[in-house]
Chain A
Amino acid sequence: MVERIGAVSQDEPAAGAAERDERPPFMQRLLDNPFLLLFIGVTVPTVLYLIWGILEIAQIPLSPS
């Protein structure tokens, strides 16, 4: 929403006010926010695949040498 307000105040100060009140539905806001999507798209596999996977490997006991 932050960027949106910025854009509105530059080009169309009058039309912006009404628009600001009705927030679009959650899904649309999510899908319209590339950086939030980027955050999710990197965090989910990092946690569930990489970190969890490395924890599993770290738990394998070393063979007695």
Chain B
Amino acid sequence: MATIAIPGQIGEAAEERFRTCPDTGLHVHAKAETLIRVNLITAVTFLGIGGLLGLLVALTRWQAVHLLPAEMFYMVLTAHGAAVLLFWIMFFEVALFYFTSAVVLRSRLATPNIAWLAYALMLIGALTATVAVLQGRSSVMFTSYVPLQAEPHFYIGLILFAVGMLITCFIFLGTLVIAKDEGTYEGSVPLATFGGLTGVIIMIFTLASGAIILIPTLLWSVGIIGHIDPLTYKLVWWGMGHSSQQVNVTMHVVVWYTIAALLLGARPLSEKVSRSAFLLYILFLQLASAHHLLVEPGISSTWKIFNTSYAMYLAVLGSMIHGMSVPGAIEAAQRRLGHTKGIFGWLREAPWGNPAFAALMLSLVMFGFLGGISGVILGTEQINILMHNTLYVPGHFHATVVSGTTLAFMGVTYLLIPIFFRRDIVFPKIAQWQPYVFAIGTAGIALFMMGAGTLGVSRRHWDITFTDALITFDYPATAFFMLGLNGLSAIIATVGGAMYVIVVVASIVWGKRRTEEDAKTNPIAPGAAVLAQYGGEDTFKLPGTIVLVSVFFIAFALYYFINWRFLAGIWPMS
């Protein structure tokens, strides 16, 4: 790992240290690299903790096991949501923001010292909020809907975390400016950087909404403000809560393109089309926040339907473009590499034993089929009512943010470790199976929670047998069965998650150091050159992808109409 000082063109750059990565040929800024490493390690730590908490929740909802007592359940549920949805995902995203800006653009990172400040704020914030939850008096769920009140340091923690993230976003933008000024790239930025920019833009709106609502809520919790209107809270809070999910979608799409590029040299089918799909995200994705308010009285259907249906479908269109472009890019690359047999030869002969590739494909399929379709169902005002606030909702978002985002992030980790830690992945057999085990487990939790939700089982509910309750209700036996299957799937998902954490930690600590020789004899990212380039495959001769996309549309249409049918059954019209 030769470290060289590049004679800089402008001021500060002169002292910056870079290395040329033997695996990717990328020109890596040493300070950016250290930040990427530390953020990755922090992210994985939170995933390990948060995943175990998820298991405890699932084992409690498995009525026959019913592990935790009621108060513990709500505390653990709050901690689970925060640790994984906020801290695991967002620390990982910080690493991706630095990767897609400084590293992909071969630039130095803007203000590395301030990036450390951002990291410190995020870490202190995350720990403060976690401690607040574990102290037991802030079991308000990660949504912290008023008038539920947490202790002040819960909100302070979240605010510090958000400030750190905001600083990170500005460092990303600053790095774009530096790269342009110092001429580290020509023309337009590569797609990975453009996707990172999309994520940063949505993140900034996310954090602005968060500031607007969390600061008054903090003041309310210390008694300075007397009242916060619950509906306004929900509206603004979801500007943050939902938009941050859209950052996740954006960044896992970036990860899909990145894995395909690194492993196979795949370029987007058309750079322009993919960029435009990201533009649809910038314009419309955040409006879909309105789907969280679909049953609120007091807000007009015009607002609801405009923001969910019309706008959301344009954003979904963006996702469908990526959902077609990614397998299309893989098909085109595979055909170029000589895998041309029949319609699906390229798919059969793909590197399924490579955990990064397996994770990419599983994430793509599960995000589309499970998360995407159920998301459109929940985002449609009329049929949302069938599943609103049932377990269908966590079922849906475990398909998006766990099977989709988390699995994609896991996959790219198998490439980021050799690239940025310069270590080989240890336990290759465990690594190879990990995405499959995790995918089966998370597909199970997504499907069985959706199944229980379709039967009306509420989310965030400790005891669906209503022991000791004055008014009781009998759920069908199938609902209990679904929760049992959910518990079993949770165990499988936890095993898959543990395999990931073990491989990551062991590789970082004990992995064999990669030399320049290894990069030649055992390349891990043979296609890396295309990652930092602008340009697409510009071909549409992709019979396999067309078949796959058609299957998706048929499944989508069928399921969509089945739900309208359900609705008609509930509300007979004749």
Interface, chain A (partner B; CB < 8 A): 3, 6-7, 11, 27-28, 30-32, 34-35, 37-38, 40-42, 44-46, 48-50, 52-54, 56-57, 60
Shortest B273–chain A CB gap in Å is 11
A30 surroundings in chain B (CB, below 8 A): 279
Since A30-B279, A44-B287, A50-B212 are in contact, a sample of 11 more A-B pairs with Cβ atoms closer than 8 Å, ordered by chain A residue number, is A7-B180, A27-B276, A31-B188, A31-B194, A34-B173, A37-B279, A48-B307, A49-B290, A49-B307, A53-B290, A56-B299
Q: Is B311 an interface residue (CB 8 A)?
A: yes
Given contact pairs A34-B173, A49-B289, A40 touches B303 in the complex (Cβ within 8 A): no
B77 at the interface (CB under 8 A from A): no
Contacts of A3 in B (CB 8 A): 180
Q: Which of B188, B197, B284, B286 contacts A37 (CB 8 A)?
A: B197
In the assembled complex, 23 residue pairs joining A and B whose CB atoms fall closer than 8 Å, in A order, are A3-B180, A7-B180, A7-B183, A11-B183, A31-B194, A34-B197, A37-B197, A37-B198, A38-B200, A40-B283, A41-B201, A41-B286, A42-B205, A45-B243, A45-B286, A45-B289, A46-B205, A49-B239, A53-B303, A54-B236, A56-B299, A57-B235, A60-B298
In the complex, what distance in Å separates the CA atom of A41 from the CA atom of B282? 5
| CB-based contact A56/B181 at 8 Å | no
A3 to B182, CA, bound (A): 12
CB distance from B327 to the nearest CB of A (A): 24
- Report Cα–Cα, A52/B306, bound state, in Å: 11
Q: Nearest CB to that of B10 among chain A residues?
A: A10
State A30–B275 Cα separation when bound (angstroms). Answer: 11
Are B235 and A45 in contact (CB-based, < 8 A)? no
Q: How far is the CA of A37 from the CA of B173 in the complex (A)?
A: 12
Question: Which residues in chain B, 240-294, are within 8 Å of chain A measured between CB atoms?
Answer: 243, 272, 275-276, 279, 282-284, 286-287, 289-290, 293
Is the pair B282, A40 in contact by a Cβ cutoff of 8 Å?
yes
CB proximity of A32 to chain B, nearest CB, Å: 5
Interface: B528 (CB within 8 A): no
With A45-B205, A49-B289, A49-B307: A56-B298 Cβ-Cβ less than 8 Å = yes
Q: Is there an interface contact between A56 and B287, defined as CB atoms closer than 8 Å?
A: no
- Nearest-neighbour CB distance to chain A for B522, whole angstroms, equals 37
A54 and B282 contact, CB distance less than 8 A = no
Q: Could you tell me the distance in whole angstroms from the C-beta of A58 to the nearest C-beta in chain B? A: 9
B111 part of interface (Cβ distance < 8 Å): no
Does B333 sit at the interface, judged by CB under 8 A? Answer: no
Q: Which residues of chain B are within 8 angstroms of A35 by Cβ–Cβ distance?
A: 173
| Count, chain B residues at interface, CB 8 A | 44
Which 4 residue pairs spanning A and B have beta carbons closest together? A41-B201, A45-B286, A41-B282, A60-B298
Cβ of A57 to closest chain B Cβ, rounded Å: 5
A49 lies within 8 A of B300 (CB): no
Which single residue of chain B is at the shortest CB-CB distance from A6? Answer: B181
Q: Does B89 interact with chain A (Cβ within 8 Å)?
A: no
User: A54 contacts which of B232, B275, B289, B300 (Cβ < 8 Å)?
Assistant: B232
Q: Once the chains bind, are A38 and B201 in contact (CB under 8 Å)? A: yes
Q: Are B231 and A49 in contact (CB under 8 A)?
A: no
| B58 cross-chain contacts in A, Cβ below 8 A | none
Complex Cα distance, B173 from A38, in Å, reads 10
Are A48 and B311 in touch, CB under 8 angstroms? Answer: yes
- Least CB distance, A52 to chain B, in whole angstroms: 6
B429: shortest Cβ distance to chain A, in Å? 43
The residues of A that contact B180 with a CB separation of less than 8 Å are: 3, 7
Given contacts A38-B201, A56-B298, contact A44 B307 (CB under 8 A): no
Q: Residue B299 contacts which of A38, A41, A48, A57 (CB distance < 8 angstroms)?
A: A57
Residues of chain B in range 300-351 having any CB-CB distance to chain A below 8 Å: 300, 303, 306-307, 311
**Complex CA distance for A28 and B289, rounded to whole angstroms:** 28
The reply to whether the CB of B208 lies closer than 8 angstroms to some CB of chain A is yes
B479 within 8 A of A: no
- In the assembled complex, the CB of A65 is this many whole angstroms from the nearest CB of chain B, namely 14
- Determine whether the beta carbon of B303 is less than 8 Å from that of A52: yes
Kindly list chain B residues whose C-beta atoms are within 8 Å of the C-beta of A34. 173, 176, 197
| B173 & A56 in contact (Cβ 8 Å cutoff) | no
CB <8 Å contact, A42 and B229: no
Q: Are A31 and B275 in contact (CB under 8 A)?
A: yes
Across the interface, which residues of B come within 8 angstroms of A60, CB to CB? 231, 298
Q: Which residues of B contact A54 (CB under 8 A)?
A: 232, 235-236
**Nearest A residue to B296 by beta-carbon distance?**
A57
CB distance from B244 to the nearest CB of A (A): 13
From B197, B208, B279, B287, contact of A42 by CB (8 A) = B208
- Asked if B63 is at the interface (CB within 8 A of a chain A CB), the reply is no
> B204 at the A/B interface (Cβ < 8 Å)?
yes
**Given A31-B275, A42-B208, are A49 and B287 neighbors across the interface (CB < 8 Å)?**
yes
* Cβ contact within 8 Å between B231 and A28: no
Contacts of B212 in A (CB 8 A): 50
In the assembled complex, the Cα of A20 lies from the Cα of B480 at a distance in Å of: 68
- How far apart are the CA atoms of A45 and B311 in the complex, in Å? 10
Are A42's CB and B290's CB within 8 A?
Answer: no
The CA-CA distance from A60 to B235 in the complex, in Å, is 14
Inter-chain CA distance A65–B488, complex, in Å, is 52
- B22-62 interface (Cβ within 8 A of A): none
Cα-based distance from A35 to B239 in the complex (angstroms)? 21
Q: Which residues of B contact A52 (CB under 8 A)?
A: 303
Q: Does B209 contact A (CB under 8 A)?
A: yes
Q: Which residues of A contact B176 (CB under 8 A)?
A: 34
Which of A31, A41, A57 is B205 in contact with, Cβ under 8 Å?
A41
Report the Cα distance A52→B304, complex, angstroms: 11
Residues of A within 8 A of B307 (CB): 48-49
Decide: B235 and A50 in contact? CB cutoff 8 A: yes
Q: Please tell me which one of the listed residues B198, B202, B229, B235 contacts residue A53 in the complex, with CB atoms under 8 A apart.
A: B235
